[in-house]
């Protein structure tokens, strides 16, 4: 019995000691918790949106430098009520334009102001000015407005008359659907495109085709090259839906350089001439009969053409026309219709010397060099 009692006491003592030992370890753990060292997080990498020298940075810089020179144009027209007693201005349309010089001249499309009795030009800084019409040319779809303001933005620079290269980068700035100062980008898709003009029987030639998004409201805005120079004036789109389909057209800088100064000087553009007279209806009728070319109907007295012996057609008593000299080539370009001649002649400046090939009444050809004269 005594031995059993001692064994129980020893067992209890060991159990109590173990319990106290674990409890003590537990209490010590609470008094002195272990601290784990944390590794500091690496800083987030800095991402540059437009790295210096990148195409993206160049596009941003170009837009910032050209934006203020592009304007938004709003037009209105006078309208009377059904009783004819009260008249007022009602909104007509919107378009784009750009500053040509420091005198406040603004270049846009002729169709932007078609039918308008008033126009307002808004700058990117929020200022708006009433604009006056300086001149317009519906054949080339160009017009010039003028505003009177102080501290106007720097005008844009017109590119050299040489056509751009297909594939070169372009940017369009305008106000499509009234969304002002919108930038779109693309390339020159093709050159020498043709579209019917607003004047019956004539065609606008030499247009630049681009895939930069152009929509209603972009008309009159600039098409810029990567140097920020104006290579064209956005004028039309090809689209079954009325929105951008990736086929837009711009009037080339060479045409703008010829037409705009004349609109500013005289209010109208008169195509150059050779001192010869033609008639579209008579010419078209003779072309349909199988005779190609531009039929000369009259020669200005004292002109260089008269001195070279150019003979006009004769109108017979029965109304038939007996052709005299017929232009078949100008400056190396074939001339099959009168429109071909006018388009080729329009590409030359007054004072240029150009080779002209005539088919004479005797079935022979004669080539002579004539001066391009100012139209009247």
Dihedral sign of CA atoms 329, 205, 70, 113 in order:
positive
Q: Cite the DSSP H helix spans in the chain.
A: 2-31, 55-66, 253-266, 280-288, 304-307, 338-346
Q: Cα(263)–Cα(115) distance, rounded to whole angstroms?
A: 19
Residue 311 neighbours by CB under 8 Å, 6+ apart = 296, 299, 324, 325, 360, 361
219 is catalytic: yes
CB atoms within 10 A of CB 202: 17
Q: How far apart are CA 360 and CA 371, in angstroms?
A: 20
Q: Which of 137, 219, 339, 346 is catalytic?
A: 219
Of 191, 192, 216, nearest to 205 by C-alpha is: 192
* Residues sharing a CB contact under 8 Å with residue 94, sequence separation 6 or more, in sequence order: 72, 73, 74, 75, 175, 178, 217
Q: Cβ distance 249 to 194 under 8 Å? A: no
Token pair of 61 as six digits: 């810089």
Could you identify the residue written with the tokens 């898709």?
189
**Catalytic-role residue among 105, 111, 140, 348:** 111
What letter does residue 267 receive in the DSSP assignment? S
Pick the catalytic residue: 137, 141, 339, 346? 141
Q: How many helices (H) and strands (E) does the chain have?
A: 6, 21
Burial grade of 130 (CB within 10 A; 0-12, 13-18, 19 or more)? exposed
Based on the number of CB atoms within 10 Å of its own CB, is 230 exposed (0-12), middle (13-18) or buried (19 or more)? buried
Instruction: Confirm whether 141 is a catalytic residue.
Output: yes
Contact status, residue 264 vs residue 134, Cβ threshold 8 Å: yes
Tokens 């010869």 belong to residue: 276
- Is 140 designated active site? no
CA distances from 24 to 27, 29, 35 (A): 5, 8, 20
Question: Which 3 state secondary structure label does DSSP give 253?
Answer: helix
State the catalytic residues.
111, 141, 219
């Amino acid at each position: 019995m005594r031995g059993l009692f001692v064994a129980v006491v020893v067992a209890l003592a060991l159990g109590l000691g173990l319990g106290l030992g674990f409890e003590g370890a537990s209490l010590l753990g609470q008094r002195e918790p272990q601290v784990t060292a944390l590794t500091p997080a690496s800083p987030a990498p800095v991402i540059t949106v437009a790295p210096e020298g990148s195409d993206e940075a160049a596009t941003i810089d170009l837009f910032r430098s050209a934006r203020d020179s592009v304007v938004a144009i709003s037009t209105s027209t006078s309208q009377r009520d059904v009783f004819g007693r009260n008249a007022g201005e009602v909104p007509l349309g919107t378009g784009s334009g750009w500053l040509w010089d420091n005198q406040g001249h603004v270049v846009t499309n002729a169709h932007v102001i078609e039918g308008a009795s008033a126009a307002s030009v808004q700058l990117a800084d929020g200022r708006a000015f009433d604009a006056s019409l300086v001149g317009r040319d519906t054949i080339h779809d160009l017009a010039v407005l003028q505003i009177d303001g102080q501290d106007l933005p720097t005008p844009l620079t017109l590119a050299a008359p040489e056509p751009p290269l297909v594939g070169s980068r372009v940017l369009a700035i305008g106000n499509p659907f009234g969304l002002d100062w919108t930038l779109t980008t693309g390339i020159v898709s093709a050159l020498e495109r043709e579209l019917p003009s607003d004047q019956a029987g004539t065609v606008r030639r030499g247009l630049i085709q681009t895939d930069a998004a152009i929509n209603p409201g972009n008309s009159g805005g600039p098409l810029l090259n990567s140097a920020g120079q104006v290579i064209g004036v956005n004028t039309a789109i090809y689209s079954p839906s009325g929105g951008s389909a990736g086929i837009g057209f711009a009037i080339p800088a060479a045409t703008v350089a010829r037409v705009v100064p004349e609109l500013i000087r005289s209010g109208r553009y008169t195509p150059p001439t050779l001192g010869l007279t033609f008639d579209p209806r008579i010419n078209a009728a003779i072309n349909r009969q199988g005779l190609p070319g531009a039929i000369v109907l009259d020669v200005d007295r004292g002109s260089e053409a008269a001195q070279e012996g150019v003979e006009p057609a004769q109108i017979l008593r029965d109304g038939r026309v007996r052709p005299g000299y017929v232009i078949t080539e100008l400056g190396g370009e074939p001339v099959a219709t009168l429109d071909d001649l006018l388009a080729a002649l329009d590409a030359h400046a007054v004072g240029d010397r150009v080779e002209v090939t005539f088919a004479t009444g005797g079935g022979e050809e004669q080539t002579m060099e004539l001066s391009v004269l100012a139209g009247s």
